Amino acid sequence: MKFYEDLYYGREYINKNALIGMQYYNRGLTYLDTEDYSKAINNLRKSKIFFSSPLIKPIIKTIMFDKINDLEFNSFEDIDYLLELIEIANYPEDYSLKNLESSLFKIINHDDNTNKFIEASIEKFKTIKVEEVRNTALEFLYEYLAKQAGTDENLEDALKYSDQIINLNPNSKIAQRIIEYVCFRKIALSTFNKETLSEFEKNIIKHPFLKSNNRYYLALAHLYGNISLDSFVNKDIESAQLYLKKLENLLDNNDIINEVSKKLRSDVYTKAGNYYYYKEQHKSAYAIYSKGLTYAPNDNELNKRAKWSKDEL
């Protein structure tokens, strides 16, 4: 009482708003005594609107820390509750990233939570003011969505979510692995045409780390080889020659020959040589068949046609 009388009583003017806030504050404490935590928090929240007291925030924080572990995080109400706790908590003294990840784990593991719910939750988490806390939450949830999309072979979404992770954390190994999988998987499922090559080249510019994987050279080899083959079939000789030279440069300067499709090696040089052979340009045909044999030395078709063109010479 002496402390109160000396330091508080008679020294502060209390206006009507503060009186309203005090009533909510007192009611909140009453509910707290009866362990009705939801009503206690609601009244203390109202108290904050009308009444500025250093006591309100730590009381609310204590109650919220007690309740947070009981939430299932399958509703936006629970998400908002977590965001409010993050807002009033002191990071990292009383709310660490591990505390946050524990709650985020509940979000992704609840059976009721759809990708749509998680995406909407991400938009809410973007409002967190502390950058490290915000980025941790966003990266955690984007990783889940990216992994799930990759598992479901939803390649576009997997790439979209992984790009979001890279924006937050350029060194994320998980995002890099998913991007690698998606980019090379899209090539494997493609028809190896110029459109696929163009998309791949754009991805390389955006994600240079793709070049560090040996699959980069293999992907290019199969793209160049198939584009050249199709161009010879369609009598687009300028394009056919261009991509054949690109293929040869790749094969001559990288140790990948044994991993490139044997059928592709045989088909592209057979088709290229045939173009000149049937035009009776036997010197050019022989040169191409012979070059093909350096990449596929035991190929019967190339050996046979090389002999024919040589005989013609």
Per-residue pLDDT tens listing for the chain (313 residues): 787 777 766 656 678 888 898 999 999 899 888 888 889 888 988 998 898 888 888 888 888 888 888 899 999 999 999 999 998 888 888 888 888 999 999 999 999 999 999 999 999 999 999 999 999 999 999 999 999 999 999 999 999 999 999 999 999 999 999 999 999 999 999 999 999 999 999 999 999 999 998 899 999 999 999 999 999 999 999 999 999 999 999 999 999 999 999 999 999 999 999 999 999 999 999 999 999 999 999 999 999 999 999 999 8
Domain assignments of the chain as residue spans, ordered by start: 1-68, 71-189
Q: Which fold has domain 71-189?
A: 1.25.40
Mutual orientation of helices 173-188 and 131-151 as an angle, nearest 10°?
A: 30
Q: How many beta carbons lie within 10 A of that of residue 132, not counting itself?
A: 12
Kindly report the backbone phi and psi dihedral angles of residue 179, in degrees, each rounded to the nearest multiple of 5, phi listed first.
-65, -45
Nearest to 122 by CA among 102, 106, 145, 88: 145
